[in-house]
């Protein structure tokens, strides 16, 4: 007696999620529902709670509301393998730039005032970068779905990489420049009037317990204003004038990171609006509440421009660029510009 096996007329795919487009992407396949919840497949509920009977993830961890946190998609579709490849490329570029500077004795021609900047203010940049790393680690832990948390954990690692890049670079400079030392950078971060508003801002973010607030304040205010001031306005614009072609390579890596994470944050704002219109009021309130802190951190850097020999009107030009770009960002996201905002940096 023979039996025949009937095969399906067409391929039937196994799906445990609904892809954003017709076909699931590799990003979706490796990211979706790694984080479990009673709202998806953990129908038995959370099996572990902390000493206060709080589950691993809780809706009260943020003021933001969404009917389906798994509906978000990162526009960069970032996951671990492309993330690692991108970080490796950034590190290789830095290594090649330093090796080239060593062969050509480039730092022998760098202006003394720029060497002072590298050993002081630039060396201190690793402290806020590390602070933002810790902030984003908290965001990743508390975010209410894997697709929302994935860009934030990558952003955290990028901040840690940037902090380490600066520290390692300063060690290289000690071997390349006679007398170079960044020993005073920590004191600068802890005591200098230039850095205290930035330190206050980072520490307030570390104390915040709303992961959505931290995420959006970092990406919609801190990164476009303070981080851009440090990387683009101080390093990328000034380094070539003083004969430094290496430091910009490090900061271009940070700029590329920021561009990718800003895209993720902008899509998150749009997603939140589609989930609950009341989220707009929450985000607008956070922007208004945190802007004075971020603004004070930016304005405190005015004396650094004078230290670098910039003309007196340079801080005002920088403020106009930063604030203009930031206002365009809010307009693109249909968020409110806080009332009474008129910004200028005075040296």
Per-residue pLDDT, 8 = 54
CB 228 within 8 A of CB 218: no
- Owning domain of residue 199: 78-332
Cα 167 to Cα 73, 114, 304: the distances in Å are 34, 17, 21
- What CATH number is attached to the domain comprising 213? 1.10.620.20
8-state DSSP, 56: S
Write out the H or E segment, with its range, that includes residue 298: helix 279-299
Q: Which two tokens stand for residue 102?
A: 């060593």
In a domain, residue 22? The reply is no
Contacts of 344 (CB under 8 A, 6+ apart): 315, 316, 319, 320
How many domains is the chain built from? 1
In a domain, 311, yes or no: yes
Which residue, 189, 224, 201, 229, is CA-closest to 314? 229
pLDDT value of residue 4: 56
pTM: 0.92
Q: How confident is the model at residue 7 (pLDDT cuts 50, 70, 90)?
A: low
In a domain? residue 99:
yes
- Mean pLDDT across the stretch 189-199? 98
What pLDDT sits at residue 17? Answer: 74
Report the percent of the chain where pLDDT is more than 70.
93
List, for residues 233-262, the tens digit of each pLDDT value.
Answer: 999 999 999 999 999 999 999 999 999 999
Q: Which two tokens stand for residue 149?
A: 């948390």
What are the pLDDT digits (tens) for 158-188?
Answer: 999 999 999 999 999 999 999 999 999 999 9
Q: Tell me, what's the pLDDT at 19?
A: 78
63 domain-assigned: no
Q: Is residue 29 part of a domain?
A: no
Q: 345 in a domain, yes or no?
A: no
Classify residue 53: in a domain, yes or no. no
- Mark 185-209 as b/e (b = at least 16 C-beta within 10 Å): beebbeebebbebbbebbeebeebe
- Please tell me the predicted confidence (pLDDT) of residue 42: 83
Cβ atoms 135, 206 nearer than 8 A: yes
Is residue 289 included in any domain, yes or no? yes
């Amino acid at each position: 007696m023979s039996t025949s096996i009937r095969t399906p007329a067409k391929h039937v795919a196994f799906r445990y999620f609904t892809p954003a487009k017709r076909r699931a992407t590799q990003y979706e396949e490796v990211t979706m529902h790694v984080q479990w919840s009673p709202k998806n497949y953990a129908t038995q509920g959370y099996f572990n709670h902390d000493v206060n009977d709080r589950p691993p993830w809780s809706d009260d961890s943020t003021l933001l509301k969404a009917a389906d946190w798994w509906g978000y998609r990162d526009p960069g579709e970032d996951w671990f393998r492309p993330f690692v490849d991108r970080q490796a490329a950034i590190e290789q570029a830095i290594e090649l730039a330093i090796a080239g500077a060593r062969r050509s004795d480039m730092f022998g021609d760098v202006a003394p005032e720029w060497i002072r900047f590298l050993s002081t203010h630039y060396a201190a940049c690793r402290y806020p970068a590390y602070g933002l790393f810790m902030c984003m680690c908290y965001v990743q832990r508390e975010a209410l779905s894997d697709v929302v948390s994935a860009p934030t954990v990558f952003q955290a690692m990028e901040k840690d990489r940037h902090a380490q890049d600066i520290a390692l670079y300063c060690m290289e400079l000690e071997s390349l420049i006679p007398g170079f030392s960044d020993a005073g950078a920590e004191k600068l971060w802890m005591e200098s009037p230039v850095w205290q508003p930035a330190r206050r801002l980072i520490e307030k973010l570390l104390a915040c317990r709303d992961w959505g607030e931290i995420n959006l304040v970092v990406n919609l205010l801190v990164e476009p204003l303070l981080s851009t001031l440090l990387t683009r306005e101080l390093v990328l614009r000034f380094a070539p004038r003083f004969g430094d072609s290496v430091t910009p390579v490090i900061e271009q890596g940070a700029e590329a990171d920021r561009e990718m994470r800003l895209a993720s944050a902008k899509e998150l704002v749009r997603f939140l609006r589609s989930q609950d219109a009341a989220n707009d009021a929450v985000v607008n309130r956070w922007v208004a509440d945190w802007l004075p802190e971020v603004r004070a951190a930016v304005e405190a850097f005015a004396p650094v421009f004078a230290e670098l020999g910039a003309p007196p009107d340079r801080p005002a030009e920088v403020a106009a660029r930063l604030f203009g770009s930031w206002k365009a960002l809010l307009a693109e996201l249909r968020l409110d510009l806080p009332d009474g905002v008129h910004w200028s940096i005075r040296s």
